[in-house]
Structure 1
Amino acid sequence: MKSSISISVIITLLLSPCAVYAAGNQAQSGANLGNVRGGDFSQAHSIIEKNCTKCHSADKIDSALSSGKDMFKIQKEMEKRGATLNSNEQEVLGIYWKHPNPLKQ
């Protein structure tokens, strides 16, 4: 019994510095994800507002997202129809489209 307690104490003492180190090295909120900061999709919303809502309501875009439509495919179709996005905007929207549920932000 004593040896089992001693082993538990030793393991706890050995693992404590690892836990502290790991906790200190977690990804920070706002970790760089290209042109989008972690969890902040304000840039994507701004791009959508500036470009997409010229022809569509925000509700139509939200509906497409909610129903799981292929937003990459829709974006490419809109670019064929004349929508213009620079490479930075394409990167931001690409990250946004990949997010499992961007509407909850």
Structure 2
Amino acid sequence: MQKSQANQDHAEALAVQALAFVASDPELLPRFLAITGIEAQHVRLAAQEPGFLAGVLQFILAHEPTLLRFSQEAGIAPGEVGIAARALPLGNDDHERSA
């Protein structure tokens, strides 16, 4: 496996973990759904779309307390979330302007 593919696979796994984190939080989930415009029953389908997983990570990155909580729960440094977002399709640095 190439390094870039391994990085993307790791980033996807982290984004799936982030999605589970958001989905399990009664305050974050409604905010995530409102921001994305996705209905709860369509999240699994949307997760297959390019850019969705990067969007989940960008959502986490946009709110520092959420980023710190997720990072602690995942056992990673907060900076790894941004690295993972950029490794995914349609991932970029737009989250930095929304903070």
Q: TM-score, structure 2 length as denominator?
A: 0.37
Q: TM-score, structure 1 length as denominator?
A: 0.36
Structure whose residues are more often helix by fraction:
2
Q: Choose between structure 1 and 2 for higher RCO, CA contacts under 8 A separated by at least 6 residues.
A: 2
**Larger-gyration structure (1/2):** 1
